[in-house]
């Protein structure tokens, strides 16, 4: 199958990209599209959507999958927020079954917590946090579907946890943290390679105390997670982030169940949250995820920062590019960033 756009083409066979090029395709295409063909969007942090949490069971995940595919997301990490060990293990077992299903865009699990700073917990329930790592890995972290863990590097034993997770092939992101720059840098040296929702639920960036945010912006090894809804980070600051760390930005939705659903009241991580005017907060008025889906985050990033479409697409696809041999997870995007077609593993799903 050859898919042709005005300025290039992609050939797909056996669920993989087998050839691509600029200009005219080598033979008559199977489908012509009007827009840019790019790697599908990848959301590394999604708590829920379509009115459901990712921990809501097969029906909930099925609804989330369908919504995300319709919006160009061909891979996402289901984010399990801080909860009890038994609940986390049950969620991991259920989600792992879905990860194994090739018809689902669910690519793995992101455990956000419970090793987080109580002072920077955001909307996480205080009673679910763990104040130290004692060398016993939570059962949920052992799941074959575990892909990413967010932790606070200043907690006792945290650097040992970073090392153990990396040994297991699980990526580590730093967040919900008040770490100073020295501690944050040590965690990066230990193997952490991302920062979760920059500026949110972390100590501030100070000119004499740069903290975790400063390390995230300055260290080229670190990928910078950003929620580009305009509420979590002011658009002026988003422009600064692009100038400093543009190629390392990883747009995330941090979507709550309200994403793709009407304003109203929902449940996230055992707490009530309220979506009003596209912003989600808990009973204390604390931001509790977003009502954003990743294609809209991409469009807002471009509008707020001036990033051209190609750059915004990379930021919304975890840096992925079209390449021969890669899974044929593709998105067709118009000049204004709207999604016009979606392919998952070589099959058109939109």
pTM: 0.97
What secondary structure letter does DSSP report for 269? Answer: T
pLDDT for residue 90: 97
DSSP string, 78-138: EEEES--HHHHHHHHHHHHHHHT-TTS-EEEEEEE-SS--GGG-TTS-GGG--S---S---
Catalytic residue numbers read: 254
DSSP code of residue 168: T
pLDDT given for residue 12 in this prediction = 98
d(CA 128, CA 86): 12
Per-residue pLDDT tens digits of the chain, which is 350 residues long: 999 999 999 999 999 999 999 999 999 999 999 999 999 999 999 999 999 999 999 999 999 999 999 999 999 999 999 999 999 999 999 999 999 999 999 999 999 999 999 999 999 999 999 999 999 999 999 999 999 999 999 999 999 999 999 999 999 999 999 999 999 999 999 999 999 999 999 999 999 999 999 999 999 999 999 999 999 999 999 999 999 999 999 999 999 999 999 999 999 999 999 999 999 999 999 999 999 999 999 999 999 999 999 999 999 999 999 999 999 999 999 999 999 999 999 999 99
Is residue 169 a contact partner of residue 212, using CB atoms and an 8 Å limit?
A: no
Quick one: pLDDT at residue 283? 96
The residue among 27, 46, 26, 33 whose CA lies nearest residue 4 is 33
Q: What is the pLDDT of residue 105?
A: 98
CATH superfamily label, 40-320: Metal-dependent hydrolases (3.20.20.140)
Terminal Cα-to-Cα distance of the chain (whole angstroms)? 16
| Strand 48-49 to 106-112 pairing | unpaired
CA 197, 202, 205, 210 dihedral sign is negative
Determine the pLDDT at residue 223: 98
């Amino acid at each position: 199958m050859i898919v042709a756009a005005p300025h290039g083409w992609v050939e797909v066979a056996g669920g993989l990209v087998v050839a691509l090029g600029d200009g005219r395709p080598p033979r008559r295409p199977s489908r012509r599209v009007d827009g840019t063909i790019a790697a599908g969007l990848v959301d590394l942090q999604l708590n829920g959507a379509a009115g459901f949490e990712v921990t809501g069971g097969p029906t909930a995940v099925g609804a989330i999958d369908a919504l995300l595919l319709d919006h160009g997301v061909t891979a996402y990490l289901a984010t399990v927020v801080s909860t009890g060990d038994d609940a986390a293990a049950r969620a991991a077992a259920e989600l792992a079954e879905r990860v194994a299903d090739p018809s689902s865009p669910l690519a793995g699990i992101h455990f956000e917590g419970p090793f987080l700073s109580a002072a920077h917990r955001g909307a996480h329930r205080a009673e679910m946090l763990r104040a130290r790592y004692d060398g016993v890995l939570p059962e949920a972290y052992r799941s074959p579907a575990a892909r990413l863990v967010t932790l606070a590097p200043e907690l006792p034993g945290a650097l040992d946890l970073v090392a153990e997770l990396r040994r297991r092939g699980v990526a580590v992101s730093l967040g919900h943290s008040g770490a100073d720059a020295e501690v944050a840098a040590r965690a990066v040296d230990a193997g952490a390679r991302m920062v979760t929702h920059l500026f949110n639920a972390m100590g501030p960036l100070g000119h004499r105390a740069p903290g975790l945010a400063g390390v995230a912006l300055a260290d080229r090894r670190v990928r910078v997670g950003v929620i580009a809804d305009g509420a979590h980070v002011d658009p002026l600051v988003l422009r600064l982030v692009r100038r400093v760390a543009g190629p390392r930005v990883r747009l995330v939705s941090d979507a709550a169940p309200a994403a793709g659903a009407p304003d109203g009241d929902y449940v996230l991580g055992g707490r009530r949250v309220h979506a009003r005017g596209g912003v989600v907060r808990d009973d204390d008025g604390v931001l509790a995820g977003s009502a954003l889906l990743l294609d809209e985050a991409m469009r807002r990033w471009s509008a707020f920062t001036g990033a051209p479409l190609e750059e915004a697409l990379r930021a919304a696809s975890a840096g992925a590019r079209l390449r021969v041999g890669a899974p044929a997870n593709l998105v067709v995007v118009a000049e204004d960033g709207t999604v016009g077609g979606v392919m998952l593993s070589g099959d058109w799903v939109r």
